[in-house]
């Protein structure tokens, strides 16, 4: 069996720059990504979801309910994305 040596010289720099653990930094470093690719991986993405008309309406309804102190019934389905979405809605 032959082993291939990987170049992970800059892993400590990646740990500090992106606040990631050493294992992840070593794995990412081994792929030799350039800085723009790394920035796209580790920079937070901001989605402008409230531009959708249906979400604007939903946002207004939820805000009105919260201000009035009323209760909300959250209903979701039982597949993996439905359970996650329902859990997020209940926690919010």
Give me the pLDDT at residue 19, please: 92
Compute the radius of gyration of the chain from its Cα atoms: 22
Q: Is the model more confident about 49 or about 23? A: 23
- C-beta of residue 45 within 8 angstroms of C-beta of residue 58: no
Cα atoms in the Cβ-side hemisphere of radius 13 Å centred on 10: 12
60 falls in which pLDDT band (50, 70, 90)?
confident
* Pick from 42-51, 64-73, 76-85: least confident: 42-51
Mean pLDDT, residues 19-33 taken together: 92
């Amino acid at each position: 069996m032959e082993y291939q040596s990987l170049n992970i010289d800059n892993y400590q720099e990646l740990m500090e720059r992106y606040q990631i653990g050493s294992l992840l930094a070593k794995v990412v470093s081994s792929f030799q990504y350039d800085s723009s690719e790394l920035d796209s991986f580790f920079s937070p993405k901001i989605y402008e979801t409230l531009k959708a008309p249906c979400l604007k309406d939903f946002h207004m309804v939820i805000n009105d309910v919260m201000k009035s102190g009323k209760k909300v019934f959250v209903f979701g389905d039982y597949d993996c994305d439905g359970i996650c979405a329902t859990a997020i809605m209940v926690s919010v």
